Amino acid sequence: PYPDGLAEEWIASHSRNWKERTGLTYAIVEKTSGELIGAIGFVELTDSTGELGYWIGEPYWGNGYCTEAARKLVEFGIQELTLKKIYATYLSSNPASGKVMEKLGMKLVKSFYRPFRGKKRVKIKYYELTVPSSS
């Protein structure tokens, strides 16, 4: 239920964001069928920090796909992008997303409220993973 052209615009932004090193997005595909089941990435990216974001199609919830993809992306962020901190937020009404963050070793830092999609204020939980320095 998106306006015409929005999906194309979203997809086109991925290449631009990576070239500018401001973001990174990957498709999540089911290994056997190759079917697109979601997306994952660093929706905000700096030299040392990445904001993890992801979505999985509802029929695929509860199968570990998001955790598997997130582990690989976090590993890439630390080893290849040399990120020092990775953070993510989720709506408290979606505790499964928080479980993914906890499985990655992320820690709850704070909770806060903000408007969401023009509606009432919703509770947001903010998680972080700080990479220990190698010195």
d(CA 86, CA 71) in angstroms, rounded, equals 12
Give the CATH architecture of domain 6-130: 3-Layer(aba) Sandwich (3.40)
**Within 10 A of 107 (CB to CB), how many other CB atoms are there?**
11
d(CA 55, CA 39) in angstroms, rounded, equals 6
Residue 75, judged by CB atoms within 10 A of its CB (0-12, 13-18, 19+), counts as exposed
Domain boundaries, given as residue ranges, for the chain: 6-130
Mean pLDDT of all residues in 95-121: 92
**Percent of all residues in the chain with a pLDDT value above 70, rounded to a whole number:** 83
**Within 10 A of 45 (CB to CB), how many other CB atoms are there?**
20
User: Residue 35: which residues within 8 A CB-CB, separation 6 or more?
Assistant: 29
pLDDT tens readout for residues 40-67 = 999 889 889 999 999 999 999 999 999 9
The SS3 call for residue 135 is coil
| pTM, entire model | 0.83
More confident: 21 or 18: 21
